[in-house]
Amino acid sequence: MKEIEKEKALTFIEPGPVVLVTSYDGRKNNIMTISWTMAIDFAGHIVITTGPWNHSFETIMRSRECVVCIPNASMIETTVKIGMTSGTNTDKFKTFGLTALPAKYVQAPLIAECLACMECKVVDYVEKYGFIVLHVERVVENEALQDRRMFHAVGDGTFIMDGDKEEYRQLMAAKLPPGL
């Protein structure tokens, strides 16, 4: 896992992939699967939508921090299973054979198997809608992973993997913020 520019956090959230969010409750690490996420500015803020129905929610609200990780396409089944398992009685890192690495600015762990992880602090909570507003403090990327494809939840039990890419940087030059 190699630290990269914080501005790049946007490029992992704006495409709309399924993410794995880790937290640490003082006793053990947990992971939840989230696909309701959004980039909201160019200053490192992102939003995840969740609530008390997720075991991680209380931990994240209390610790005011979490790590948002981006699994690659080879992790779809594991990601689905993480989403179907409660962290109340399960050590998900152990159950799903994932590796917790220490983060720098938060106590929640990185997931070594993911494409990238973002260490986040909770800056706000819009209770009415379950929006947790996060600020990304550090971004690390797993440059060794061969399969760079993120994947997307359709919401009906199917998932779409990244396909071909197209580049329009020149056409968009006037609106691209520095660092992207």
CB-based contacts of 24, cutoff 8 Å, min separation 6: 30, 59, 63, 106, 107, 108, 109
Q: Considering the complex, what minimum distance in angstroms separates the CB of residue 105 from its own copies?
A: 23
Question: Which of 3, 15, 91, 99 touches its own copies by CB under 8 A?
Answer: 15
Contact region with its own copies (CB under 8 A), list: 59-67, 90-98, 109-117, 166-174: 166-174
Contact region with its own copies (CB under 8 A), list: 35-43, 90-98, 99-107, 139-147: 35-43
The reply on whether position 101 binds its own copies by CB under 8 A is no
Q: Considering the complex, what minimum distance in angstroms separates the CB of residue 118 from its own copies?
A: 14
Q: Tally Cβ neighbours within 10 Å of residue 47.
A: 18
Are the CB atoms for 139 and 5 separated by under 8 Å?
Answer: yes
Element spanning 110, H or E: strand 110-111
The reply on whether position 85 binds its own copies by CB under 8 A is no
Strand, helix or coil at 155? coil
Element spanning 11, H or E: helix 9-13
Question: Which of 4, 61, 112, 133 touches its own copies by CB under 8 A?
Answer: 133
The type of residue at 168 is Y
Distance CA 16, CA 88 (A): 28
Contact region with its own copies (CB under 8 A), list: 23-31, 61-69, 74-82, 105-113: 74-82
Q: Which residues bind its own copies (CB under 8 A)?
A: 10-11, 14-17, 35-40, 45, 47, 49, 76-77, 80-81, 83-84, 124, 126, 128-131, 133, 149-176, 180
